[in-house]
Each structure stands twice: as structure tokens, then as C-alpha cells.
Amino acid sequence: MNLAVVEVSKSYGALRAVDELSFEAFPGRIYGLLGPNGAGKTTTIRMIMNIIVPDRGRILFDAGAIQTGDKNRIGYLPEERGLYGKMVVNELLLYFASLKGKSRAAVQPSIDRWLERFDLMEWKSKKVDELSKGMAQKLQFVVSIIHDPDLVVLDEPFAGLDPVSTEQLRKAVLELGERGKTILLSTHIMEQAERMCSEILIIDHGRELLSGPVERVKSRFGRNSVVIEFDGDARIIRDCELVANLIEYPRWVEAELAEGANADRLLACLVGKVAIRRFEVVAPSLHKIFVDRLKKKG
Amino acid sequence: MEKLGKIFVHEFRMIACTKAFLILTILGPFLLIGMTVVPSLVSQRTQRSGIELAATGLAPEMFSQLSESLAQVDIRLRPSDQTAEQLDSSVKQENLFGYLAFPEDLLGGESVELVTREFPDLRIVEALKAVISRAVVDLRLKAAGLDSERIRALTTPVEIEAKQLTRSGVKSQADTFSFIMVGITFTMMLYMTILLYGQSIGRSVLQEKTSKTVEIMLSSVGEMDLLFGKILGQAAASLLQYGVWIGMALLGAHLIGPALGLQRMPQLSVSTLLYLVLFFLLGFFLFASLFAAFGAAARDEQNLGQLSWPVIVILVFPMVSAGPIVTNPGSSFSVLLSLFPLTAPIVMFVRILVSDPLRWQIMLSVCIQLAAVAVTILLSAKIFRVGILMTGKRFTLFEVFRLLRR
């Protein structure tokens, strides 16, 4: 299913939540909708899901306006998770699948397969209230894809998951993409989007900041960044005049080289002052691009 | 429509397949009876039997006559030659319930003194007064040379037998006590069920919002399917419960009605029961859609309570006015309340139950209620659409209505 968002806007009183946003997502590709909290991602998704109506613009599914049956072809994992706690896991999945037009007999094998895959099989006959938060989150993902939708909209799917569950979910999403599903992935974690998406749209205050295929977006900003893994005092890197900007973690930095500087000189400058474990010239990360763009805009 | 049906079935199962529903279905009628009939029954039955009173200052022939008559109303009389001080002491020490001190000039009109440790039941006083008065009057008549039996036969009071002639020509023997009890019972029943089920809808919508399931539901179904699926599911569960209750009420009235003193029940004909279902449904849809709107707008249970109270006050009004409505169903007050949409479901039905209102009044009441239900559902749907996705804000009633302008 092709999804096209065409010059869509939505305001709440004086607040312009989404401002003339346009993008397209295609089958077999994962489209990343990125931006900080409050950027307008969830409002955009709610308009796509026909939960709220745009003030202006159009949302097209396979080049047409949404039809009665289209909701059955869409799977949605909302940012605000919630399930019927008193229902038994299997009954809950059957109920939500039935609302998407799937019969009990048709969907039961799929339910068993997904529960098995997410280590939830032993909870099949238990009430949802008995699941841990992580398990409930995985179940919520299963709810969103149990009817085998053509378009999967995932709003912050990895939020609050432990590393093992994150990996399980990541693999499942990539697999859905490989199976030809159109996937719209909304997240504020740039690293995740960078690793999973083929195309991205970064928004801030409801407006487009950057868009396009991930590699093209990154190449636009050149290869003037250096990733350094090290042991020692980060202040030495921070204070170095060859570094223009720095994204800093305790033992890892992404440094943007100052104008006229090069990686060799930086390496020479640091040798002997910190213990370098990795030194790699890279294209800037989406995170860095996003932060820089915001700084320039601000 | 198909999705509405699925939500309807889901909601019905979520309500009807719970222990709470089963318990309420079984205990509901007992609860209702407990709140209406039992208090009067209990007060009728308590302290009537097993009372023993000492009698002092009474001639032997008078004593045997009185003790025989009082034994018929379960009051035992025993003669005593103790002084008032000794009897007082026995009463204080709880050796004696109480005593009657007869004056020397009983026939002359002096009063009899009843002394008990607790304030005596008024019915005991009435029974004593009736029996002693009759004995004294008999003695006075005898002293005057008159035949007391003959005089009593000549002065027997006339009973009034009230009969109701309805427009359909059926005469029913009306029993005021039965009318009041049945009228109040049905007022209570309609009030409790409309309030209970309406609030249940409000809580269900609020839960959908607070448990965050609403967004995933709205990604599959329209908001109107969700709203009406919920309301219809609750309506079906309510009707099931109503059916059981009516069945139990009819059976109960048949089996234990006479024991409760309801000798002549107002006619609970098929048409009356159909009216009951009709007015219940009108009231249910009116208040359920209002509560659904409040549930969609509310932030939490407390906020839902605050938004609902003006509606509850209006709903309580027919209940607190049940007395005047039942005893005077044709008054302007009763007619007005039976046409005002928020009180009409209860008041119009009670008027039909205890009287025979003009047909045009019934039709007008139903039409007004249908129009009110339609308008309320439309307005509530709009509040529901806007409010259900708004979280974190605590609305006032005024702000809820402002949502209509969005």
C-alpha cells in the first residue's frame, strides 16, 4: 500500500501542530518519521489513521482517499499503549483481529506464531493484567500486525523495551519490510531510525526539517565527522581547537572537524593524551545532523 | 454496521459475563424490596408479640375481660397487688416489661397509666387504648341499662371500597397502600437502573480513555461505532437483567405479595410491562448518552462524578417526589414532570402504573423523550469525538458544553 501525505496541516487553537507536511511511503520500505517530543509526529500519525481530521491537505492510500475497507489494511501501534486488562490474551487478539475483518479460524494460527516468536505463548490463556509492562508492549505490537496489514504504522515502538525485546521487535519490523509491507516508523531516537529506515523525514514544530533517503541526507553533510572511542579525559577532545562541535558520551564522542582541520591532525593531537580504542572518519549521524540543524535554526 | 455488532457483542460479554453482573441480577430485586417494602414490614411486625404487663388497681371481673381481649393482640396481662414503687423497681431491674395502673374511677373517665422501661411502641398503646376503651364503654352502657352488642351493631362504621374505572372500561379494585408501595418500588427501580447503567457507560468510556485503548480502537472503527456499540451492549445487558427482575418480581408478588399486605396489586398487565420497557429504554438512552459524553470528557473518576452530579440531581427529583406523584398522578405537577424529558421516563411510567393518563399525554411524553434522546445522542457524539482523545485536562460542566463548538 502506498501512503502519500500531501501538504497536511493541523492546528489546535493558536498552536500549529502540523504545518504543510508532505511525504510518501512505499511497500517494502521503512519510512522514518523523526523529531523531538512535541514535533507533531503523533498528530501526523493520528491524521493518517483517520482518528483526527486535518485542517488542510490530503492523505492518500494507493493514490485515493481512505475507503471503508482501508482501515482493515492498516496496522497501528499507538504511542500511548493500552489494552483491555481483564481480557485473556488470546481473546484480546481475536477481538482486535475481528475488528479488522479477520475470522477466528483464519487468524488463530497467526496468533500462535506471533505469541511463540515473542515468548508469550505461556501467557496465551492469562489475563492481560497479569503481563509485565514489556510483555504487554510486545503484545500490543502483535495486536497491530495480527491481521497481516499492508501498511504498518508504529509510533515509538521501542520506547521502554529492554535490549532483548528491542532486538526481537527490530527484527520483526525489518522482516515485515522484507515481506513488502509499507512501514511508517515514528521515533525520536535517531540512531534507531538510522539503522532501520531507508527514508526519513525529520520534523520540528510541525514543519519539515530534512527529508530523503538516509544515505543521501547524510552525504549532503559530507564526511567531516570522526567517531572516537577512548579511555581518558573527554575535556582534552572538547578543548582541542581542531574540533568544531562535539556529541559526547562517557567513553565515546562524535566530533565535527573545524574548518581547515583534518582527521590526521586530530589523531596526532590526541595520541598520548587519551587511550584511543577506535578512530573512524564517518558521515555525521542523523542525531548530529538534527542537533546541528536545530542550532542553526535557533 | 458489522464492526458496531462486534463491539456490541464484546461490550455485552464484558458486562454480562462477570460475577458482579450475576450477583446484582440475583440480588437486585431483594435489594429493591429491602429498600422499599421491608422497612414498613419490619415496623409492622416488631414488638407486637410477647409483651407481658402487670395490672394494678383492676377489679377481678374487669381483669378477666381485658386479659382475654389483650391476649388476642399478643399482650399478656397479669394481676398485681404490688405498690407503684415496687412495680417501678421491677421495671428498672428488667424483671417486668411494664405495668398498667388503673385509676379508682375508671368508668368516670380517669386515664390509665402505662409505665414501661423503654418508650412503648405506638401500636401497643393503640391496642391497649382500643381494648380498654371498649371494655369501659361496655361497662358504662351496662350500668346505664343498655345492650352494648345491639348498640355496636347499630354503630358499625361504613367501609369505602375504592374502584378505578379506566378509559378502557376495566374496573380494578384499587388498594391505596398497594398503589403507593408498587408505585414507589417502580420509581426506585427505574431510578436505580437508569442511574446504575448510565454511570456504568460513563465509567466504561472513561476507562477506554484512561487505559489508552481508545486510540487503537479508533484505528479500527469509527467513533460512532465505538460509542453506540458500548451503549447498545450495556442496553442489552440491562434488558436481560430487567427481564430477570420482572420475572422475579411477578413471581414474588404472586407468592409473597399477600403476606406483605399487598392484597390487590395494581394490574401489571402486558401493556404496563411494555410501557416499563419503553420508558426504561427512553430513560436509559437519554442518560447513557449524557454519561458517555461526560466519560469522554472526564479526566478521572472524580472528574466524572463532578460532571455527573447535576444530572443525578435531576434524576433524583422524581424519586423524592414519588409520594405526591403516586397519590396524585393527575396533578399539574405530575403532568409537568411527565413531559419534562429528564424526569419523564420515570414519572410518566409511574402515572401509567397508578392511574390512567390521557392518551395524548402519553404520546406527547414519548415524542418529547424521543426528540430529547436524538438531540442528546447527537450532542454527546460530538463531545465524545472531541473529548475522548483529550487527556490530562480536568473539565468543568461548562467547558464540556464548550466542546460542542469545536
* A38: chain B residues, CB-CB within 8 Å: none
Return the pLDDT at B86.
87
* A82: chain B residues, CB-CB within 8 Å: 211-216
A27: helix, strand or coil? coil
Q: Report yes or no on B7 lying in a domain.
A: no
Return the pLDDT at A98.
94
A100 and chain B in contact, CB less than 8 A: yes
Contact A99 B6 (CB under 8 A): yes
Does residue B275 sit in the same domain as residue B388? yes
Cα separation, B363 vs B276, whole angstroms: 15
Q: Report yes or no on B137 lying in a domain.
A: yes
Domain covering A3-218, topology: Rossmann fold (3.40.50)
Per the structure, how many domains does chain B have? 2
Residue A139's Cβ-side half-sphere holds a number of Cα atoms within 13 Å equal to 30
Does residue B363 sit in the same domain as residue B285? yes
* A140: chain B residues, CB-CB within 8 Å: 216
Contact B6 A46 (CB under 8 A): no
The model's confidence at residue B393, banded by pLDDT at 50, 70 and 90, is low
Return the pLDDT at B180.
73
Domain ranges of chain A: 3-218, 223-282
Q: Report yes or no on B26 lying in a domain.
A: no
Cα separation, A256 vs A243, whole angstroms: 6
Q: Residue A144's closest chain B neighbor by CA?
A: B216
User: What's the rounded mean pLDDT across residues B345-368?
Assistant: 90
Q: Is the ipTM here above 0.85?
A: no
Angle between helices B19-45 and B176-210 (to 10 degrees): 150
Does residue B392 sit in the same domain as residue B330? yes
In the predicted model, is pLDDT for residue B300 greater than 60?
A: yes
Q: Report yes or no on B340 lying in a domain.
A: yes
Q: Report yes or no on B286 lying in a domain.
A: yes
Render pLDDT for B190-217 as a digit per residue (tens, 0 to 9): 888 888 888 888 988 888 888 778 888 8
Cα separation, B406 vs B402, whole angstroms: 7
A241: helix, strand or coil? coil
Residue that terminates a domain, selected from B131, B154, B177: B154
Render pLDDT for A216-237 as a digit per residue (tens, 0 to 9): 888 777 778 899 999 988 888 8
Mean pLDDT value across chain B:
82
B5 and chain A in contact, CB less than 8 A: no
Does residue B137 sit in the same domain as residue B176? no
Spatial CB neighbours of A198, under 8 Å, sequence gap ≥ 6: A29, A30, A31, A213, A214
Contact B215 A95 (CB under 8 A): no
Q: How far is CA A215 from CA A189, A194, A197, A284, in A?
A: 17, 9, 10, 10
Angle at B291 between CA B288 and CA B297, to 5 degrees: 140
Render pLDDT for B111-149 as a digit per residue (tens, 0 to 9): 888 888 877 777 788 888 888 888 888 888 888 888 888
For residues B12, B3, A148, A197, the Cα torsion angle rounded to the nearest 10 degrees is: -100
Q: Report yes or no on B10 lying in a domain.
A: no
Does residue B216 sit in the same domain as residue B316? yes
Higher pLDDT, A198 or B94: A198
Render pLDDT for B78-118 as a digit per residue (tens, 0 to 9): 888 888 888 888 888 888 888 888 888 887 878 888 888 87
* A96: chain B residues, CB-CB within 8 Å: 216, 220
The model's confidence at residue B364, banded by pLDDT at 50, 70 and 90, is very high
Return the pLDDT at B360.
92
Its domain, for residue B306, covers 165-405
Return the pLDDT at B118.
77
Does residue B222 sit in the same domain as residue B340? yes
Q: Report yes or no on B31 lying in a domain.
A: no
- Which of B215, B390, B391 would best serve as a mutation to test chain A binding (most A beta carbons within 10 A)? B215
With beta carbons less than 8 A apart as the criterion, state whether A150 and A61 touch.
no
User: What's the rounded mean pLDDT across residues B336-344?
Assistant: 92
3-state secondary structure chain B: CHHHHHHHHHHHHHHHCCHHHHHHHHHHHHHHHHHHHHHHHHHHHCCCCCEEEEEECCCHHHHHHHHHHHHCCCEEEEEECCCHHHHHHHHHCCCCCEEEECCCCCCCCCCCEEEECCCCCHHHHHHHHHHHHHHHHHHHHHHCCCCHHHHHHHCCCCCCCCEEECCCCCEEECCHHHHHHHHHHHHHHHHHHHHHHHHHHHHHHHHHHHCCHHHHHHCCCCHHHHHHHHHHHHHHHHHHHHHHHHHHHHHHHHHHCHHHCCCCCCCCCHHHHHHHHHHHHHHHHHHHHHHHHHHHHCCCHHHHHHHHHHHHHHHHHHHHCHHHHHHCCCCHHHHHHHHCCCCHHHHHHHHHHHCCCCHHHHHHHHHHHHHHHHHHHHHHHHHHHHHCCCCCCCCCHHHHHHHHHC
Cα separation, A207 vs A186, whole angstroms: 15
Return the pLDDT at A180.
93
Q: How many CB pairs under 8 A join A and B?
A: 55
In the predicted model, is pLDDT for residue A42 greater than 60?
A: yes
List the single range of A108-122, B168-182, B356-370 with lowest mean pLDDT.
Answer: B168-182
Does residue B196 sit in the same domain as residue B130? no
Does residue B82 sit in the same domain as residue B210? no
Higher pLDDT, B84 or A178: A178
The model's confidence at residue B43, banded by pLDDT at 50, 70 and 90, is low
Residue A290's CB is within 10 A of a number of other CB atoms, namely: 22
Beta bridge partners of A212: A200
pTM, two decimal places: 0.73
In the predicted model, is pLDDT for residue B267 greater than 60?
A: no
Return the pLDDT at B338.
92
DSSP character at residue A285 = P
Return the pLDDT at B297.
84
The model's confidence at residue B1, banded by pLDDT at 50, 70 and 90, is confident
* A81: chain B residues, CB-CB within 8 Å: 212
Q: Report yes or no on B148 lying in a domain.
A: yes
Ramachandran quadrant class, A96 (left: phi over 0; alpha: psi -120 to 50; beta: rest):
alpha
The answer regarding whether domain A223-282 maps to CATH 3.30.70 reads yes
In the predicted model, is pLDDT for residue A88 greater than 80?
A: yes
Does residue B310 sit in the same domain as residue B189? yes
Return the pLDDT at A33.
93
Contact B213 A100 (CB under 8 A): no
Q: Which three cell numbers stand for residue A262?
A: 583534518
Contact B215 A78 (CB under 8 A): yes
Does residue B178 sit in the same domain as residue B276? yes
Contact A82 B216 (CB under 8 A): yes
Query: What type of residue sits at position B392?
Result: G
Cα separation, B120 vs B97, whole angstroms: 10
Alpha helices in chain A (DSSP H): 41-48, 89-99, 104-117, 133-145, 163-178, 190-196, 214-219, 234-238, 263-270, 286-297
In the predicted model, is pLDDT for residue B330 greater than 90?
A: no
Does residue B139 sit in the same domain as residue B181? no
The model's confidence at residue B309, banded by pLDDT at 50, 70 and 90, is confident
Contact A95 B6 (CB under 8 A): yes
Cα separation, B210 vs B150, whole angstroms: 80
A52 and chain B in contact, CB less than 8 A: yes
List the single range of A142-156, B11-25, B154-168, B213-227 with lowest mean pLDDT.
Answer: B154-168
Does residue B299 sit in the same domain as residue B400? yes
Contact B216 A144 (CB under 8 A): yes
Distance of residue B383 Cα from the nearest chain A Cα, in angstroms: 14
Nearest to B220 among A85, A100, A140 (CB): A100
